[in-house]
Structure 1
Amino acid sequence: MPYSRAGEPARRGEEHIVAEPKDGGNAWQEVRVSLGPDAEVTGKLSFVTATRIEGKLKGEVRASGLLIVGPQAIVHATVEAANLVVLGELRGQVQGAGRVEICAGGRLYGDVESKCLVVQEGAMFEGQSRMGERRPDLARTELTT
């Protein structure tokens, strides 16, 4: 399901999940963890529930659920997430995601490995994309003469 910023009209025939709270409420009711805009974190983070990042983060992030990089976020990390929504800036590799969506205004600089990649109009993606099922590592065969 596509994501959009508050106030953006949905395209005809598309349903959008709004990425900003409506009427002071939480539009992301499934989000249980949030790093606010004043947060600066460095290290390895692991989440088992939907998470939203609004601050600065450097390191590694693993999320077994939805990971949202908010519009104010600046993330420099290797990311492994079940699903990823980029509204702010993400620099680093994205691995093993089921769905990666870069929304209008979002910026992703790095390589992406996912089953599905969506780059909305007005979004920026600079890197390589590998889509489909994750292939098991192939053993290297050395040639001997």
Structure 2
Amino acid sequence: MFNKKDSSSSPDVFDTLIGVNSTLEGNIETEGTIRIDGKIKGDVKVKGDVYIGKDANVNGNIFANNVYMSGRVDGNIEAKGVLRVLSTAQLYGDILVQSLISDEGSIFEGNCKMVSASNAQGVDNGASKKSKSTKDKDSDKSQTSGQ
């Protein structure tokens, strides 16, 4: 009577949908894929992909596998895979991505750091250790030069 479709084979299936007329305050965490067409004030942490519609407005950070955006984001984005910024998108924040695709007409104001797939997990740890050791060497130099 009803045709059952295999949801795992269709890229148009979303586990979570925030509709155009919806406003959400608070953080979202999910294992699957999310589509945002409304307004969110808070962080979005997703193990799957994030799709941000052209009328969407996200005021918070986004952590996901891949991010495809057409709307506005005021916050940082960390994508283990691809960040696709479509022509209607406005992004105001820093990004840490493996791959960046930006269409003509999109707006991006912030810093960009691109990492390889093998380095995606250890970027923050390595950067912190390097900064600390560099600071230690610099303080040692200043102490010895002041004597």
Deviates more, 1:79-88 or 1:28-37: 28-37
> Any gaps of 5 or more consecutive residues in structure 1?
1-26
Check conservation: 1:109, 1:127, Cα contact below 8 A: yes
CA offset at residue 29 of structure 1?
A: 2.3
Equivalent residue letter for 2:16: V
Higher strand proportion: 1
Show the counterpart of 1:84: 67
Show the counterpart of 1:106: 89
Check conservation: 2:52, 2:68, Cα contact below 8 A: yes
1:101, 1:110 → 2: CA distance?
15
CA offset at residue 42 of structure 1?
A: 1.1
Cα deviation per residue 1:5-38 (whole Å; 9 max; x = unaligned)?
xxxxxxxxxxxxxxxxxxxxxx852322100011
Check conservation: 1:77, 1:90, Cα contact below 8 A: yes
Runs of 4+ in 1 over 4 A off after TM superposition: none
What TM-score, normalized to structure 1? 0.75
Show the counterpart of 2:34: 51
2:124, 2:110 → 1: CA distance?
22
Show the counterpart of 1:72: 55
What's the Cα RMSD here? 1.6
Show the counterpart of 1:119: 102
Check conservation: 1:46, 1:63, Cα contact below 8 A: yes
What TM-score, normalized to structure 2? 0.74
Higher helix proportion: 2
CA offset at residue 53 of structure 1?
A: 0.4
Q: Is residue 21 of structure 2 the alignment partner of residue 38 of structure 1?
A: yes
Check conservation: 1:84, 1:97, Cα contact below 8 A: no
CA offset at residue 130 of structure 1?
A: 0.6
CA offset at residue 125 of structure 1?
A: 1.2
Overall identity of the aligned pairs, in %: 24
Q: Is residue 112 of structure 2 the alignment partner of residue 129 of structure 1?
A: yes
Cα deviation per residue 1:111-142 (whole Å; 9 max; x = unaligned)?
11000011011211111111113324232133
2:44, 2:53 → 1: CA distance?
15
2:95, 2:36 → 1: CA distance?
19
